[in-house]
Amino acid sequence: MLFIGVDLGTSAVKLLLMDETGKIHKVVSKEYPLYFPQPGWSEQNPQDWIRQSMEGIKELTAQCDKSQIKGISFGGQMHGLVVLDKKDQVIRPAILWNDGRTGKQTDYLNQEIGKETLSRYTGNIAFAGFTAPKILWMREKEPENFARVRKIMLPKDYLAFYLSGEFSTDFSDASGTLLLDVEHKRWSEKMMEICGVRESQLPKLYESWEPTGAIKPEIAEELGIPQDVKIIAGAGDNAAAAVGTGTVGEGQCNLSVGTSGTVFISSKNFGVDEHNALHSFAHADGNYHLMGCMLSAASCNKWWMEEILRTKEYQKEQEGIWKLGENPVFYLPYLMGERSPHNDPDARAAFVGMSMDTTREDMTQAMLEGVAFGLRDSMEAAKSTGLTPKRSKICGGGAKSPLWRKIIANVMNMKIDRIESEEGPGYGAAILAAVGCGVFSSVEEAAGRLVKITDTEESDPQLAEKYEEKYQKYRKLYPALKEFYHIE
């Protein structure tokens, strides 16, 4: 049997073909554009997702026995707003997770509705990237478009809708809308009322491994695959990546160093941290998780390398870095504002501590360390709830750098495990498809049997102590610079 995992990312859709033993047969990636129509805005054309996904599936399955394909599932960029009219046509470009236009609406939700009230309704407070503030923005700024809305979707669910015709989502992705009562796994009537939407406009809710339907006959014919291929609900990208790294069950941890960066801790119980610095979401294994999200992680590396240094030789730029724990330069990784723990869409990146003898290597090292410190911020928030993981899996593009893994292990002062497959959300999605097709009885069973650790980065006590001192200095920088981010 074969299963297709679709990772609908911010810059590309990545598709992989996996068999029931967990072996990956092929991986295909198709890029699509990202649009910034105004400063701080971030949008995509949902038709680009469809076109590239369809081409990707054709390429992925070109050489395999297509009769063996049993299921397709998804991991997708979260929080995006996709709206359809009564003819199921897309009304406007999708507003993405890293879009910062909703500062006014976010403040309204947090200050006038109130953080405590929001947390009671949903388990979370409002962040600028969440879906609900986008709905409020659209209602205020584009009332004619808002009046046409008949279906509200998340990015991966629009692709699933195209493939199956079923209007659905899963609990993990729905958790990031601020419309879901996460603890009780149902749409919140109070939040729908606040946002001016009806439950009929929201998709049917499923667990991540549940089939939502079958592929439409005309799509099956176009792709050359069987008409009984199941479409499985899937998960938000971080929950799917957690499945793909075996971060399921109680107290497991995963660090993702992708475009964004996340600290993801699984739990069998619903919980909220004291200051709502972390997201309290449903997990793809049927349980819950706490997640801290920084908006710019590996994207800081891409920006520094390609836009500033004008090079794509990432590894070469790291070769001259050796004085770990002793770099006087600090970097704040807030290129697109920041979510956890500051919830400040106006925050901006900064280098601090440069002098005449600062080198190119110092700056690159500071950038890598700044992202690690940003991840540590979320870990500290998690520790305040009593969760104290001693080791973590790691995934994402940044995880491929040995130097970055070493820095992260010592900044966190914990063991960092690499796994055999570094495909993250796509691999997790394929595992969910296998569970949905009955190969495994549960997500935990599947992850336990398929995910394998290949090596572990240990922290060094002396280096970890140096980084502890640097981290305490780093923590003082955002409060000191905050007033400069809000100058009119």
Question: Beta strand 2-8 with 69-76: parallel, antiparallel or unpaired?
Answer: parallel
Q: What's the start-to-end Cα distance of the chain, in Å?
A: 59
Q: Say if residues 32 and 16 touch (Cβ distance below 8 Å).
A: no
Spatial separation of the C-alpha atoms in residues 69 and 227, rounded to whole Å: 10
Judge whether 237 counts as a catalytic residue. yes
Q: Is the peptide bond prior to 341 cis by the omega test (within 30 degrees of 0)?
A: yes
User: How would you classify the pairing of strands 391-395 and 253-257?
Assistant: parallel
Strands 43-44 and 94-95: what pairing? antiparallel
Distance CA 78, CA 177 (A): 8
> Of 48, 99, 181, 237, which residue is the catalytic one?
237
Ligand-binding annotation for 78, yes or no, is: yes
Amino acid at 273: D
Cα-based distances in Å from 380 to 14, 277, 373: 32, 10, 10
Contacts of 401 by beta carbon, 8 Å cutoff, 6+ apart: 314, 315, 318, 368
Q: Per DSSP, what are the bridge partners of residue 265?
A: 253, 290
Known binder of ligand: residue 79? yes
Tokens standing for 472? 């305490």
| C-alpha distance from residue 95 to each of 60, 155, 339 (Å) | 28, 10, 17
Q: What is the number of other CB atoms lying within 10 angstroms of the CB of residue 366?
A: 23
Positions at the binding site for substrate = 78-79
> Which of the residues are catalytic?
237
Positions at the binding site = 78-79
